[in-house]
Structure 1
Amino acid sequence: MMEALQDVRGMAAPIRVGTRPADSEKITVNLGYVDLGHVDLLVSEGAYANRSDFIRTAVRNQIERHADITRQSVARKAVEIGLRHYGRAELEAARTAGTTLDIRVLGLAVIAADVSPDLARATIASLEVLGSLQASPAVRQALADRLR
């Protein structure tokens, strides 16, 4: 659910009520006053809907600009791109087979809520997430020494 508040310039500033969507992560960006002024000028001139729209566009442009670096890195390393879900059944199968997982995800890695800390420690040898990791606090703590 979205509601709007008026910011100090009288412009609508959206606020989120409830949980964040699963396809995004909120971050904080510190900008100098001059850079922020430029962003606000572009918003007031209608070039962007709001500050967030400007920042998302700038991030996407930089990702596109450096796409070759991403492709080369993915080619060198076994990295899964996008959303990767690790469920209890998959981890139990790895434990039964006597194997461990080296997890590398660019995007969102989710370790299911029904995965116990003991199962995670027994089956996940290493965990590298470029993006966001969703796991219970207990599983995060159990894997703390394996996070890169």
Structure 2
Amino acid sequence: MSVTELKPRVGDSEKVTINLGVVDLGQIDLLVQEGFYTNRTDLIRTAIRNQLAVHSDVVKQTIVRKSLVLGLQAFSRQQLETSRANGEKLQVQVVGLASIAADVPPELAAAVIDSVTVLGAFHASAAVKAALAGRIH
């Protein structure tokens, strides 16, 4: 298993849609207009990062308590074949990005992966996701 700490890059983002009241949106636009932020997204990202910093101890403690991987956990076909040969069953538990290589057949993923819990993003082929559907939480 490969575990890597994620560092934000342009392509490393997921779209999130939120609904805001018109007064909140107007205040955001005012702050952008006054030059405090470059755009709405800049303010929202800053606010989210500030809240994550406020709660960072809780996040760290929870990751340790629940034995979660923080960052990127990537699974190659070879790694999964080795796990199957060793009779290992995997519990994928990630805060960040879990990725299963495109060349992994659905049968191999189903034979080796017992459960998938991802807080963030899970990248795998549609066939692998379908094979693991009942195990994704």
TM-score over 0.5 (shorter chain): yes
Structure 2 gaps of 5+ residues are: 1-9
Which amino acid is the alignment partner of residue 79 of structure 2?
Answer: E
- After TM superposition, where is structure 1 displaced by more than 6 Å over at least 4 residues in a row? none
Query: What is the correspondence of 1:1-148 to structure 2 with a 5 Å cutoff?
Result: 21-148=10-137
Shift of 1:25: 0.8
Which letter does structure 1 place at the counterpart of 2:55?
Answer: H
What secondary structure sits across from 1:61 in the alignment? helix
Give the drift of 1:69: 1.3
Shift of 1:127: 0.5
CA offset digits 1:29-80 (Å, max 9, x no partner): 1111111111111111110001111111111011111112101101211111
Aligned residue-pair number: 129
Which residue number in structure 2 is paired with residue 4 of structure 1? none
- Give the AA of the match of 1:146: R
Matching residue's letter, 2:90: L
> Once superposed, what is the RMSD of the aligned Cα atoms?
1.3
Instruction: Name the structure, 1 or 2, with higher relative contact order (CA <8 Å, separation 6+).
Output: 2
Amino acid corresponding to residue 27 of structure 1 in structure 2: V
Higher-Rg member (1/2): 1
* TM-score normalised by structure 2 residue count: 0.90
Aligned-residue sequence identity (percent) comes to 53
What is the alpha-carbon distance in structure 2 between the residues aligned to residue 22 and residue 104 of structure 1? Answer: 22
